[in-house]
């Protein structure tokens, strides 16, 4: 087997890290078998460059983070009308965010929208503290 089969491709300039499948598509691997496995494993285990530091959050993201960090933010109409509603409408319409948001913010935005959507979260309903009753047999649960 040739040494080229196990050498990872040259690294791209400081852009985003390519997905493993993208890396695989740029390499000539041996035919299926032990050599193929060894070459693919070497690619998988090859160190990847450090990701560049994330950019400074935009002012709109900082504003969202501030709004959603307040106590009771998810339930607050003031927070909802201050920008969360607009982001939620874009998300549920299938729109793409202009900039990435951390998952914890996305979850808070979706939660805020769900409690305002009568089809998703009936008015006045409160989420149970625990779902321990899910472990009980169906016969013992009140339906």
pLDDT per position as a tens digit, 36-66: 999 999 988 888 777 777 778 889 999 999 9
Dihedral sign, CA of 115, 118, 124, 130? negative
Q: What average pLDDT does the segment 14-23 reach?
A: 62
Q: What is the rounded CA–CA span in Å between residue 27 and residue 5? A: 7
Residue 22's pLDDT band (cuts 50, 70, 90): confident
Q: What is the pLDDT of residue 65?
A: 94
Number of domains in the chain: 2
Asked if residue 31 and residue 7 are part of one domain, the reply reads: yes
Mean pLDDT over each residue of the chain, to the nearest integer? 80
Is 93 within a domain? yes
- For the purposes of burial, counting CB atoms within 10 Å of the CB of 114, is it exposed (0-12), middle (13-18) or buried (19 or more)? middle
Q: What is the rounded CA–CA span in Å between residue 107 and residue 58? A: 19
* Coil, helix or strand at residue 105: helix
Q: What is the rounded CA–CA span in Å between residue 35 and residue 23? A: 18
Rounded-to-10 torsion of CA 9, 10, 13, 16:
20
Is 134 within a domain? no
9-18, 105-114, 120-129, range with the lowest pLDDT: 9-18
- For the purposes of burial, counting CB atoms within 10 Å of the CB of 116, is it exposed (0-12), middle (13-18) or buried (19 or more)? middle
Residue 15's pLDDT band (cuts 50, 70, 90): very low
Percent of the chain with pLDDT over 90: 43
Domain containing residue 13: 3-45
Asked if residue 69 and residue 29 are part of one domain, the reply reads: no
pLDDT, one tens digit per residue, over 112-129 is 999 898 888 777 777 777
* Coil, helix or strand at residue 1: coil
Q: What is the pLDDT of residue 2?
A: 45
**Residue 125: alpha-carbon gap to chain centroid:** 27
What's this model's pTM, rounded to 2 decimal places? Answer: 0.53
Q: What average pLDDT does the segment 94-103 reach?
A: 88
Is residue 80 over pLDDT 50? yes
Is 119 within a domain? no
Is 89 within a domain? yes
């Amino acid at each position: 087997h040739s040494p080229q089969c196990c050498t990872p491709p040259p690294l791209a300039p400081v852009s985003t890290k390519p997905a493993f499948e993208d890396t695989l598509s740029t390499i000539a691997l041996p035919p299926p078998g032990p050599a193929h496995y060894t070459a693919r494993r070497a690619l998988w285990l090859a160190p990847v460059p450090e990701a560049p530091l994330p950019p400074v959050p935009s002012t709109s993201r900082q504003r969202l983070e501030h709004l959603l960090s307040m106590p009771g933010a998810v339930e607050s109409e003031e927070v909802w009308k201050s920008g969360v509603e607009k982001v939620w409408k874009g998300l549920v319409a299938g729109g793409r965010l202009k900039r990435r948001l951390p998952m914890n913010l996305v979850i808070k935005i979706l939660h805020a929208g769900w409690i305002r959507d009568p089809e998703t979260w009936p008015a006045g309903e409160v989420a149970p503290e625990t779902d321990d009753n899910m472990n009980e047999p169906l016969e013992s649960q009140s339906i």
